[in-house]
Amino acid sequence: MKYIVKRTSNYCSFEEGNPPVENAKMEYIHQYDTRTPIIKQKGRENIWKQFVERNRNIVQLPNGNWRGIEKEAEQVWVVEVDDLLSFVDKHGQCILSEPDCEEGYYEIEIYDDYRE
The string of pLDDT tens digits covering residues 28-72 is 999 999 999 999 999 999 999 999 999 999 999 999 999 999 999
Are 84 and 52 found together in one domain? no
Number of helices (H) and strands (E) in the chain: give both, helices first.
Answer: 2, 8
Are 77 and 20 found together in one domain? yes
Q: Is a pLDDT exceeding 80 seen at residue 94?
A: yes
Are 65 and 80 found together in one domain? no
Are 23 and 37 found together in one domain? no
**Which pLDDT does position 17 carry in this prediction?**
78
Contacts of 110 (CB under 8 A, 6+ apart): 5, 6, 7, 8, 20, 21, 91, 92, 93, 94
* Residue 115 confidence class, pLDDT cut points 50, 70, 90: confident
Q: Is a pLDDT exceeding 90 seen at residue 114?
A: no
Number of structural domains the chain divides into: 2
| pLDDT: which is higher, 105 or 13 | 105
Is the CB of residue 108 less than 8 Å from the CB of residue 94? yes
Are 13 and 39 found together in one domain? no
Domain region containing 43: 31-72
CA trace torsion 76, 74, 100, 56 (10° rounding): -160
Are 79 and 113 found together in one domain? yes
Are 35 and 63 found together in one domain? yes
**Which pLDDT does position 9 carry in this prediction?**
87
Are 88 and 102 found together in one domain? yes
Are 99 and 65 found together in one domain? no
- Which residue stretches of the chain are H helix? 45-54, 84-91
| pLDDT: which is higher, 11 or 51 | 51
Are 64 and 79 found together in one domain? no
Are 96 and 112 found together in one domain? yes
